[in-house]
Amino acid sequence: MTTRTLRTLASAIAAMGVLVGSAAALEVASSATVAGKPDAVWQKIGDFCAIQTWHPAVSKCAQSDEGGATYRTLTTTDGGTIKEKLVEQTGTSYTYDIINSPLPVENYRATISVSADGDGTRVDWKSSFDAKGKSDSEAKDVISGIYKAGLDKIAEMSGN
């Protein structure tokens, strides 16, 4: 191989490394143990639009079906809107994608679930996403704050 070919190959490998390195999604996971059995807690929070009853930043949720898929449009207390698509639902969890929002994230996918934890219920909320328009740290802080507010409200509703 010529020196030029080696340099070109080295540049291509380095560029691939940069692409692979930046492709790693950010992750946020939060949980809370709340009073009550999993079935009872899920009854309160498990409906896709129930978020309007347990998240203090959500004032309204409108559910719609488009092309066989279920969506919800959240209206926040400050007037913003977030459109999300239900990806999967079980008896104790659901997974959704953010389609459009003012949040500093893209390629966002999250799951909220419940499971037994002693005499109570563990509520888990986790996601993976890429930062959009903010640093990785700032995007993670925004999502962490959203999760904390929601989980705190679920705990309050459950009698914790």
pTM score > 0.75 for this model?
A: yes
Kindly report, residue by residue over 32-76, the tens digit of the pLDDT.
Answer: 999 999 999 999 999 999 999 999 999 999 999 999 999 999 999
Are the CB atoms for 32 and 154 separated by under 8 Å? yes
Provide the sign of the torsion angle of the four alpha carbons 106, 143, 159, 53, taken in this order: negative
Q: Where do the structural domains in the chain lie, given as residue ranges?
A: 40-157
Kindly report, residue by residue over 7-30, the tens digit of the pLDDT.
Answer: 444 344 444 444 444 567 999 999
Is CATH 3.30.530.20 the right assignment for the domain spanning 40-157?
yes
Contacts of 50 (CB under 8 A, 6+ apart): 44, 61
Instruction: State which amino acid sits at residue 151.
Output: L
Kindly report, residue by residue over 97-124, the tens digit of the pLDDT.
Answer: 999 999 999 999 999 999 999 999 999 9
